């Protein structure tokens, strides 16, 4: 994100849609198409894989330049790209060899500034171990913004013509990543003609006395004024909220109560929404949120 005067600008030239060919990835692909159209960027459809032992032996021994595994995956990937293509959007398929959490961020770096789009089914322990952990590892491994479509996010059809975002929520703790997230959120709402809520959740343990909450609210509102450009009030109609309790619960309650269409999280590894553990708070929010989640890692 960069600024011209006091106007935030979304600096993305490539949307990288990472697919594992699952039904959850299908929905993420439809969002990726709409994002690329909305922000007039390139769209790559990527799939990362590891050669099976049999396929590896075939290619090493030179029996075939490309194994059946590679050919079959490329065929499926080409079909996915074609399904997302249109007269106004060229979609490029890219088959990547390697672990997804390494190959996909590396590809995004090569074509940056990028926005990575991925889907996850998350949910139960077994399902999360198979698919959710891949999405989480990608979030950990990239410095680019990531747009994740969880199992509860609304479906968008392949014929949709506009992103269904009318109100965004930016959950912030005023860390550097959270400040960047506010900039990205403002870029989205200005482009889409949407509105924005900004929420700060204060852990109950941080409030030594009930009277302190009023002071924390005042400090939050003053801090927000320093980070949100004055002109942003003209197009985003920002509303600010301070809640106490568990960040996961308060954020999801706000999403439901205020009919939020996109949640924006600024994530730092040392925060209560950090990515330092596999069972990270951020990923649990993504999985449980009834809307897509844009994460900005700092």
State the average pLDDT over residues 109-124. Answer: 84
Does 181 have pLDDT greater than 90? no
- DSSP string for residues in the chain: -EEETTEEE----EEEEE--SSHHHHHHHHHHHHHHHHHT-EEEEEEEE---HHHHHHHHTTS-SS-HHHHHHHHHHHHHHHHH-BTTB-EEEEEEES-HHHHHHHHHHHT-SEEEEEE----SHHHIIIIIHHHHHHHHH--S-EEEE-TTSPP--TT--S---SEEEEE--S-HHHHHHHHHHHHHHHHHT-EEEEEEEEPGGG-SSTTHHHHHHHHHHHHHHHHS-TTHHHHH--EEEEEES-HHHHHHHHHHHTT-SEEEEEE-TTSTT-SSSTT-HHHHHHHH-SS-EEEEE-
Q: How high is the pLDDT of residue 271?
A: 47
In this prediction, residue 161 has a pLDDT band, given cuts at 50, 70 and 90, of: confident
Q: What is the pTM of this model?
A: 0.85
Which span out of 9-13, 62-66, 181-185 was modeled with the highest average pLDDT? 181-185
Q: What is the mean pLDDT of the chain?
A: 81
């Amino acid at each position: 994100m960069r600024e011209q005067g006091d106007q935030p600008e979304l600096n993305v030239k490539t949307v990288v849609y990472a697919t594992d060919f699952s039904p959850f990835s299908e929905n993420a692909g439809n969002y990726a198409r709409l994002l690329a159209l909305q922000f007039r960027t390139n769209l790559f459809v990527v799939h990362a894989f590891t050669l099976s032992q049999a396929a590896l032996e075939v290619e090493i021994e030179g029996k075939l330049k490309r194994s059946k595994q590679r050919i079959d995956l490329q065929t499926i990937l080409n079909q996915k790209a074609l399904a997302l293509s249109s007269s106004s959007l060229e979609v490029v398929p890219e088959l990547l060899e390697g672990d997804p959490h390494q190959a996909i961020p590396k590809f995004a770096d090569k074509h940056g500034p990028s926005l990575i789009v991925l889907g996850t089914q998350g949910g139960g322990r077994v399902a999360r171990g198979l698919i959710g952990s891949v999405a989480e590892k990608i979030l950990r491994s990239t410095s680019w913004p990531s747009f994740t479509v969880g199992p509860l996010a609304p479906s968008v059809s392949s014929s949709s013509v506009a992103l269904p975002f009318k109100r965004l929520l930016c959950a912030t703790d005023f860390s550097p990543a959270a400040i960047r997230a506010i900039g990205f959120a403002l870029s989205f709402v200005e482009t889409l003609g949407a509105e924005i809520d900004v929420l700060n959740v204060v852990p109950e343990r941080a409030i030594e006395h009930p009277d302190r909450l009023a002071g924390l609210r005042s400090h939050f509102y003053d801090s927000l004024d320093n980070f949100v450009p004055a002109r942003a009030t003209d197009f985003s109609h920002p509303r600010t909220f301070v809640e106490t309790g568990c960040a996961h619960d308060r954020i999801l309650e706000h999403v439901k109560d205020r009919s939020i269409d996109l949640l924006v999280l600024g994530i730092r590894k040392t925060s209560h929404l950090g990515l330092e553990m596999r069972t990270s708070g951020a990923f649990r929010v993504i999985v449980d949120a009834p809307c897509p989640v844009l994460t900005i890692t700092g």
